[in-house]
């Protein structure tokens, strides 16, 4: 395998294979982002007289051609080439000669991969948000549709208090709002330009880092060049934590579903075409989809810890350990998006059970409402509690004449519109249009 920075002594092939690792495989995912970073970089190089106008023009044309190859999945990293950065420079040099060799001035592979990853993560966060939107909408629709259908509430796996399907579905829609807040925070950390930090110590060239920040649609830049390098790993942890937050919501929902579809509860059902059967038990309908969602989201929940441990005790400056982080973070977005999509697919077919409260085993979930009924009649709470306890012991307990929950967020007042407004406001915080318009303009320049 040849490298652009090869010395006279040929590197041992086993060593080279080991140190390259999965870079070639994973770098294909970064191809269009490396090209975008190069487009911004060469425009900046021309402004500081390291490229002529003519050189800039022919480099732009060829880089945009390569960009479209990447979009169409036609871009290839050759077997003898180490990574995406090398392949792009080699392609440019083959086509344009010495001009292609000029694009690396003022850069290092370190800040190249940093900017690639940040551009990648920005787009993938937007992708995850776009996948969350239909799930949120569906959960709110289900919440409103089934707001008056009683669902037994459990604590410690014991029958506790009356809930509703409206409350249950609505809880997960609001959980997604908080997930968006974590994604906003991660997006802001990723949305800072490291380009120009080079190997982590800057450059003697008079680089215009503000210009590349604007060209790439970053909100701001990582000013300190040492810290820019330190964001490798730290940014990944922040983004992984946000993905884990979404995974946490999906995981708990999936766990509920697995419980609720079993015969002992039978709170909800799904059509046969979305439930798996058993190889020997003809009566079985298994919630395999939600079990797999549960497993896959557990894997994503572990992601921040995996990256944290991988980067533990690592001093400032670049270290090759960071290469492995790509293997963790890059596939996680699509894995999470698939879990979100499958949750939407399944919940769009869910059927809820009605009149569950009429089953004898759920009689006592109204005990608190009975206590409150007495309190409203003037009985002190502790006396009412003891009175109802005695009713239960003597098998004299009866459901209150009227069960009414009216405060904000209760089953009689779901606050669906307020939760929707929180969600919409959280979406606005990302300001995806700014970076998308910048990239569009960069490709037209």
Residues 6+ apart with CB under 8 A from 308: 237
Scanning the structure block, which residue is given the tokens 């109802």? 388
Q: Is 6 helix (H, G, I), strand (E, B) or coil?
A: coil
Question: 266: pLDDT confidence band, cut at 50, 70 and 90?
Answer: very high
Scanning the structure block, which residue is given the tokens 């239960």? 392
pLDDT of residue 445: 78
- Express each pLDDT in 84-116 by its tens digit: 889 999 999 999 999 999 999 999 989 999 999
Residues 6+ apart with CB under 8 A from 405: 162, 411, 412, 413
Give the mean model confidence (pLDDT) for residues 152-162. 94
**Segment among 21-30, 58-67, 398-407 with least mean pLDDT:** 21-30
In the chain, where are the structural domains located?
Answer: 13-105, 110-149+172-197+219-357+420-430, 359-393
pLDDT(425) > 80: yes
Question: 149: pLDDT confidence band, cut at 50, 70 and 90?
Answer: very high
Considering the chain, what percentage of its residues have pLDDT values greater than 90? 82
CATH topology of domain 110-149+172-197+219-357+420-430: Fumarase C; Chain A, domain 2 (1.20.200)
Kindly report the backbone phi and psi dihedral angles of residue 182, in degrees, each rounded to the nearest multiple of 5, phi listed first. -70, -35
Q: Is the dihedral of CA 68, 69, 70, 72 positive or negative?
A: positive
Supply the angle between the helices 303-310 and 288-301 in degrees, to the nearest 10: 30
- Express each pLDDT in 347-397 by its tens digit: 999 999 999 999 999 999 999 999 999 999 999 999 999 999 999 999 999
* HEC assignment per residue over 38-71: HHHHHHHHHHCCCCCHHHHHHHHHHHHHHHHHHH
pLDDT of residue 58: 97
pLDDT(277) > 70: no
* Residue 283 or residue 299, greater confidence: 299
139 CB-side CA count, 13 A: 27
Give the mean model confidence (pLDDT) for residues 297-312. 95
Asked if 235 contacts 189 with a C-beta cutoff of 8 angstroms, the reply is: yes
pLDDT of residue 11: 65
Give the mean model confidence (pLDDT) for residues 407-427. 96
Question: 400: pLDDT confidence band, cut at 50, 70 and 90?
Answer: confident
* Residue 409 or residue 21, greater confidence: 409
CA proximity to 179, closest of 257, 254, 255, 241: 241
Report the C-alpha gap between 203 and 34 in whole angstroms.
20
pLDDT(1) > 60: no
* Average confidence score pLDDT of the chain: 93
Give the mean model confidence (pLDDT) for residues 409-438. 96
Which tokens sit at 419? 């939760």
For residue 369, how far is the Cα from the chain centroid? 40
- Express each pLDDT in 27-74 by its tens digit: 899 999 999 999 999 999 999 999 999 999 999 999 999 999 999 999
Considering the chain, what percentage of its residues have pLDDT values greater than 70? 95
Report the C-alpha gap between 131 and 344 in whole angstroms.
9
**Segment among 33-42, 137-146, 272-281, 433-442 with least mean pLDDT:** 272-281
pLDDT of residue 356: 93
pLDDT of residue 274: 81
pLDDT(5) > 90: no
323 CB-side CA count, 13 A: 15
Asked if 337 contacts 127 with a C-beta cutoff of 8 angstroms, the reply is: yes
Continuous segment of H or E residues that includes residue 84: helix 84-96
Report the C-alpha gap between 287 and 412 in whole angstroms.
30
CATH topology of domain 13-105: Fumarase C; Chain B, domain 1 (1.10.275)
Question: 296: pLDDT confidence band, cut at 50, 70 and 90?
Answer: very high
Question: 427: pLDDT confidence band, cut at 50, 70 and 90?
Answer: very high
pLDDT of residue 290: 96
pLDDT of residue 141: 98
Report the C-alpha gap between 109 and 84 in whole angstroms.
10
């Amino acid at each position: 395998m040849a490298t652009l920075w090869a010395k006279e002594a040929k590197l041992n092939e086993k060593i080279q294979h080991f140190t390259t690792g999965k870079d070639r495989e994973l770098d294909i995912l970064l191809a269009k982002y490396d090209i975008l970073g190069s487009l911004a970089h060469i425009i900046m190089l021309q402004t500081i007289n390291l490229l002529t106008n003519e050189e800039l023009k022919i480099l732009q044309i060829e880089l945009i051609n390569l960009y479209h190859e990447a979009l169409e999945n036609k871009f290839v990293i050759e077997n003898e080439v180490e990574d995406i950065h090398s392949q792009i420079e080699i392609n440019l040099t083959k086509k344009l000669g010495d001009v292609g060799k000029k694009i690396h001035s003022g850069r290092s592979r370190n800040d190249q991969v940093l900017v690639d990853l940040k551009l990648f993560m920005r787009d993938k966060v937007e992708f995850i948000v776009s996948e969350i939107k239909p799930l949120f909408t569906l959960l709110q629709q289900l919440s409103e549709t089934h707001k008056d259908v009683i669902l037994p509430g459990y604590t410690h796996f014991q029958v506790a208090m009356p809930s509703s399907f409206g409350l249950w579905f609505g809880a997960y829609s609001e959980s997604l709002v908080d997930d968006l807040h974590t994604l906003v925070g991660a997006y802001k950390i990723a949305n800072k330009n490291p380009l120009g930090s080079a190997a982590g110590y800057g450059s003697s060239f008079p680089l215009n880092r503000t210009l590349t920040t604007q060209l790439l649609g970053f909100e701001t830049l990582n000013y300190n060049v040492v810290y820019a390098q330190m964001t490798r790993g730290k940014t990944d942890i922040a983004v992984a934590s946000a993905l884990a937050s979404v995974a946490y919501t999906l995981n708990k929902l999936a766990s509920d579903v697995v419980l609720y579809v079993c015969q002992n509860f039978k709170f909800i059902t799904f059509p046969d075409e979305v439930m798996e059967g058993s190889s020997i038990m003809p009566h079985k309908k298994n919630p395999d989809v939600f079990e797999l969602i549960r497993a896959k989201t557990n894997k994503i929940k572990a992601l921040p810890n995996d990256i944290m441990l991988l980067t533990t005790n690592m001093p400032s400056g670049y270290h090759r350990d960071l290469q492995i982080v790509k293997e963790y973070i890059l596939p996680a977005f699509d894995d999470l998006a698939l879990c979100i999509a499958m949750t939407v697919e399944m919940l769009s077919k869910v059927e809820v059970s009605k009149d569950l409260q009429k089953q004898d085993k759920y009689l006592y979930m109204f005990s608190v409402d009975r206590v409150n009924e007495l309190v409203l009649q003037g009985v002190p709470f502790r006396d009412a509690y003891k009175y109802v306890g005695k009713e239960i012991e003597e098998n004299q307990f009866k459901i209150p004449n009227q069960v009414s929950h009216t405060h904000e967020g209760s089953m009689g007042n779901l606050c669906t519109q307020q939760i929707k407004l929180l969600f919409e406001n959280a979406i606005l915080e990302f300001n995806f249009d700014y970076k998308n318009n910048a990239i569009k303009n960069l490709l037209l320049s």
